[in-house]
Chain A
Amino acid sequence: MTTTDAPQAAPPPSGKRRIGDVVFAGLARSSGILILLILAGVAAFLIVQAWPSLSANTQNFLTTREWDANVREEPAFGVAALAFGTVLAALIALVMATPVAIGIALFIVYYAPRRLASLLGYLVDLLAAIPSVVYGLWGIGFLAPQLVPVFEGISRYLGWIPLFAGPPSPSGRTILTASIALAVMILPIITAMSRDVFHQVPQGHREAALAMGATRWEMIRLAVLPFGKSGIVGGAMLGMGRALGETMAVAMILSPSLMISWNVLQSGNQTIAGHIALQYPEATGYGVSALIAAGLVLFAITLFVNMAARYVVARGNKEA
């Protein structure tokens, strides 16, 4: 390989070489451990810096809606409204994105012409390459105005559903608009995970279904979807993790606000990530520490969702 000498019996490892091995292995190992330290450091430093504002807070951090933290004494703030907005936006995005992502994955793996499949998959991946700040700009400049008449239609005909009770926002910049942008952004993740499991469905199961006279869809229903369930669920949860933490598109589309509202056609909701981005430049007093506390909550939620997703995926792989 690396030597031009004729192959001989392996020379006894000299001390020098052993040192090389020890050093290199140690270096590689420390890099791995460094990653664990960074992750632990993220948690630790957030906790340390969140603590001053949390201990000075005069309100219950988890149940309070208001955000009165930019003061030197007696701050009063909580994440109730923000956590609500974060989860609501992510859930709406998930509900919209998951079925479409499953459809795309089925299309690429089982429907599209084989020669085009990888190119078409690449196009879907491009959705993930567009920076979120560009999605935000697109959300304000194109999507929101386009959605205003749609929202009016929805509230006219579906207004009896509390989610769609109007009157709709005249700017179109509501949590539903933000959720649509989020849905587009998480499509590639869910699609990629679903594609992976669809590719892993054993040929034997697919052929068994076809050999008993199943149509393509019946083959998918009998052999593919039951097999791919855990991968789809895991992918959806990873997508949710991304949607929960996504900042820029939300911060740009929604205006600062602290309401808890189920009415997705009106502005008023805000997410944790969006709130941090919007408030940080003006934060004074306990402000920064309070925002770090909010970030800590976001970190905890996403950590939980991601770990659960990885667990689901790993368990599915073991069963297969």
Chain B
Amino acid sequence: MSTTTTQPPEPETRAQLSRGSLPRYFSPVLLAASAAVVAGVLLAFSSFGVILWALLTAVAYLVISVTASVRVEGARKAKDRFITAIVYGCFLLAMAPLVSVLWTVVQNGMSRFDSYFLSVSMNGVLPSMDAGGVYHAIVGTLAITGMATLISVPIGVLTAVYLVEYAEGRLKKVITFFVDVMTGIPSIVAGLFVVALWMVLLGPGHLNGASGALALAVLMIPVVVRSSEEMLRLVPLELREASYALGVPKWRTITKVVLPTSASGLTTGIVLAIARVIGETAPLVLTAGSSAVSINWNLFDGQMMNLPVFIYSQVRMGGAVNYERAWAAALTLILVVMLLFFLARMIGRFFAPKTR
């Protein structure tokens, strides 16, 4: 290397180990300043809008910080700053719809969300009447999701046990692959499947809760398999070996050691799977019907309303009062989903085996 033919890059600046740097407080101060100035200008022209404000602040911040950085710190640092700003921006951009959805749902849903709304059905309520509630839909949601859970959990958990404890070779690969593929089935196709199944077996016209539960189960099974598989794999091999060493047969080892050890994880996964399917609408429109108005606890007889379909059918009616009901039902549904998420986290936190 003593016969150097190429110049070392940036020799004069690099020898100093620094190329000038903007102070640490530069970014936050500039961001705050941009936001304030943009807000001031927009207010002066009385055209303030949150989206416009956020957009212009971002542009102003990007332009100024990159220009300043190119001057002071050089092109490489400026690029790094630019990307950093973009990456932070991506995250904020994703939070915008989350906040917006939750905000609009709460704002629009509150007006009708009360104990009356939660405790009455739509029985006898004419579409435009200022009355009625979602009790029948809550009942339907509980019944349909409950039955779907009863179908999916044994199949899902047992399949996961098979994949983790027993399966090997080709069948394992095939099942794993198709479980993955099954997670991608469009929900409406699951609904059509049940429709087609009944048409072949029973003839047309079987709108009831059980059909809906069956469609949801098709969507839920792969989710349960996936999460259970993950949890079972977390159980240390030594625990199984210790059990085998005591002469406990494999199936007792699984039911008495492996499954109890992973119980909290399995339950968390199942609750999250319920949260995923409880908001499914399309398959239930096709299988459980969209015109039930009264309380129906019988899964096998007649149409069964539920929260997501209630929202959809109210929107289809299109009147102002219908929209109010839809928003209030959406608030109810979101609360249910959030409750399930919270529950899942709590189970994961408090019932996890202490030995991990």
Contacts and interface: CB of A to CB of B under 8 A. Distances in A.
- Answer yes or no: A and B touching, Cβ < 8 Å: yes
A137 B330 contact: yes
Interface stretch (A75-83, A120-128, A154-162): A120-128
Interface string B277-307: 0111110011000100000000000000000
A140 interface: yes
A246 B283 CA distance: 11
A141 B254 CA distance: 51
A310 to B, nearest CB: 5
A56 interface: no
A103 B91 contact: yes
A268 B231 CA distance: 47
A275 B222 CA distance: 26
Interface size class of B (residues with CB under 8 A): 35 or more
A142 B327 CA distance: 12
A31 B91 contact: no
A21 B251 contact: yes
Nearest to A242: B184
B310 to A, nearest CB: 9
A104 interface: yes
Nearest to A291: B192
Interface in B216-241: 218, 221-222, 225, 239
A58 B80 CA distance: 61
B135 interface: no
A134 B282 contact: no
Nearest to B89: A103
Contacts, number: 291
Interface in A209-245: 215-218, 220, 238, 241-242, 244-245
A277 B196 contact: no
Contact of B185 (A27, A42, A126): A42
Contact of A133 (B100, B171, B281): B281
A224 to B, nearest CB: 12
Interface string A131-169: 111111110111000100000000000000000000000
Q: Which of A17, A23, A108 is most buried by chain B, counting CB atoms within 10 A of its CB?
A: A17
Contacts of A102: 90
B187 to A, nearest CB: 6
B175 A49 contact: no
A32 B171 contact: yes
29 contacts: A2-B256, A3-B246, A13-B247, A20-B252, A24-B250, A24-B251, A25-B166, A28-B161, A32-B167, A32-B175, A35-B178, A41-B193, A48-B200, A100-B93, A111-B84, A124-B94, A130-B337, A131-B278, A132-B279, A133-B281, A134-B330, A215-B77, A216-B80, A216-B83, A247-B281, A248-B308, A251-B312, A252-B312, A299-B185
Sort A-B residue pairs by CB-CB distance and give the 6 closest, nearest first: A245-B186, A131-B279, A103-B90, A10-B247, A306-B184, A28-B162
